[in-house]
């Protein structure tokens, strides 16, 4: 359990918002296949930018 | 993808990790002797070479079959966010600056009362952990862009030469290197590259092709400034 936590900390730097936001961005990009490619890229980037904002306002680790 | 951008990113990312490893090795060297410090570092480097030799080719082969971008990209996004938000926190005063001088003093005080095996283990662990982070960055870059392997390896080697040269020249804690500024740039690059590669791996079409990378760097940089300024002002008022 401790090792898992260390791996999680190593990859995410202790952020909860970053992996959740990244997951949402990937799922959104996959589910919006019928949209124009440019619009999908814009949606993907918008979610990642919001993820970065959310991660920055998280509790300091 | 511009190979020099790749080399620059690898150089900065590797240099940050190597500065941390060099600080630990120097702390051990000054307190337990250079033989103990350098033998710990040498064994760690040997272990690193073995790890990369075992897992590096596997990663590269896998990259030839599947698109690694969609695996590597998200990792870089997470690394990038972690680095960049920490740099913003430090610059805004929400988190203490990463002080190599303080690390050096702490390691020196702890080692003064212990035997040389602890010195060896400290040096070994420091070099192995920081070296693994460099190896992950270099191997993943090289696996994703095999044609540009020389740039990513060259970036890491240049960082090793520069940090080693600095360590030899200064023979003192490396706190003079402006680490937070370096980490900000590295965080921006990792986050932008990760976003770009993940998008490519998912089959998204970036508006300006490879040049979109520069727009991503600019977008994240502007956002980082917009986040930093109010955080800093609020801190100053408190």
Q: Is the pLDDT of residue A19 over 90?
A: yes
User: CB of A45 within 8 A of CB of B216?
Assistant: yes
Alpha-carbon distance B137 to A53, whole Å? 24
Alpha-carbon distance B10 to B190, whole Å? 9
Q: How many domains does chain B have?
A: 1
User: CB of B8 within 8 A of CB of B189?
Assistant: yes
Location of structure tokens 């990209």: B73
What would the two tokens of residue B41 be?
A: 């570092």
Q: Is the pLDDT of residue A25 over 90?
A: yes
Count of pairs with CB atoms under 8 A, one residue in A, one in B: 81
User: CB of B144 within 8 A of CB of B3?
Assistant: no
Location of structure tokens 């003079």: B176
Q: Which long-range contacts (CB under 8 A, 24 or more apart) does B114-119 make?
A: B116/B32, B116/B33, B116/B36, B118/B32, B119/B28, B119/B31, B119/B32, B119/B33, B119/B36, B119/B37, B119/B40
Q: Give me the domain span that covers residue A21.
A: 15-56
| B153-175 mean pLDDT | 77
Q: Is the pLDDT of residue A20 over 50?
A: yes
Residue A29 lies in a domain: yes
Q: Give me the domain span that covers residue B93.
A: 3-237
Interface check for B78 against chain A (CB to CB < 8 A): the answer is yes
Alpha-carbon distance A19 to A12, whole Å? 7
Nearest to B47 by CA among B121, B131, B120, B139: B131
* B85, B94, B202: residue with CB nearest A55: B85
User: CB of A59 within 8 A of CB of B89?
Assistant: no
| B54-73 mean pLDDT | 60
Q: Is B75 within 8 Å of A22 when comparing Cβ atoms?
A: no
Q: What is the pLDDT of residues A35-44, one digit of tens each?
A: 888 899 999 9
Other beta carbons less than 10 A from residue B74's beta carbon: 22
For A50, nearest residue in chain B (alpha carbons): B223
Total-model pTM? 0.64
Min Cα distance A19 → chain B (Å) is 7
∠ Cα B212 B216 B217 (to 5°): 120
Name the phi and psi angles at B133, rounded to 5. Answer: -65, -40
Residue A51 lies in a domain: yes
Residue A31 lies in a domain: yes
ipTM of this model? 0.94
Least confident of A47-51, B183-187, B222-226: B183-187
pLDDT of residue B102: 67
Q: How many domains does chain A have?
A: 1
Interface check for B169 against chain A (CB to CB < 8 A): the answer is no
Q: Is the pLDDT of residue B184 over 80?
A: yes
Confidence grade of residue B178 (pLDDT, cut at 50, 70, 90):
low
Q: Is the pLDDT of residue A48 over 70?
A: yes
pLDDT of residue B128: 77
Residue A37 lies in a domain: yes
């Amino acid at each position: 359990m401790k090792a898992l936590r260390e791996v999680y900390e190593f990859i995410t730097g202790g952020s909860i918002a970053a992996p959740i936001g990244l997951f949402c961005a990937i799922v959104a990009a996959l589910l919006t296949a019928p949209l124009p490619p440019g619009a999908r890229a814009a949606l993907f980037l918008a979610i990642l930018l919001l993820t970065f904002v959310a991660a920055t306002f998280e509790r300091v680790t | 993808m511009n190979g020099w951008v790749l080399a620059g990113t690898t150089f900065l990312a590797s240099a940050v990790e190597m500065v941390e490893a060099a600080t630990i090795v120097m702390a051990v060297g000054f307190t337990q002797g250079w033989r103990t410090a350098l033998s710990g570092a040498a064994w760690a480097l040997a272990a690193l070479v073995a790890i990369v030799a075992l897992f590096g080719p596997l990663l590269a082969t896998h990259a030839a079959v599947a698109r690694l971008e969609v695996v590597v990209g998200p990792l870089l996004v997470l690394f990038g966010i972690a680095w960049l938000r920490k740099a913003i926190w430090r610059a805004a005063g929400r988190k203490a600056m990463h002080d190599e001088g303080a690390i050096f003093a702490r390691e020196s005080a702890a080692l003064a009362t212990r035997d040389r095996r602890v010195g060896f283990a400290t040096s070994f662990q420091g070099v192995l952990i920081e070296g693994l982070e460099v190896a992950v960055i270099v191997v993943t870059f090289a696996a994703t862009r095999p044609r540009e392997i020389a740039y990513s390896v060259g970036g890491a080697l240049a960082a090793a030469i520069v940090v080693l040269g600095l360590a030899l020249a200064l023979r003192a804690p490396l706190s003079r290197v402006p680490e937070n500024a370096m980490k900000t740039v590295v965080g921006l690059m990792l986050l932008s590259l990760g976003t770009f590669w993940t998008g490519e791996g998912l089959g998204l079409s970036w508006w300006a092709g490879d040049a979109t990378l520069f727009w991503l760097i600019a977008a994240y940089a502007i956002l980082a400034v917009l986040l930093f300024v109010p955080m800093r002002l609020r801190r100053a008022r408190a």
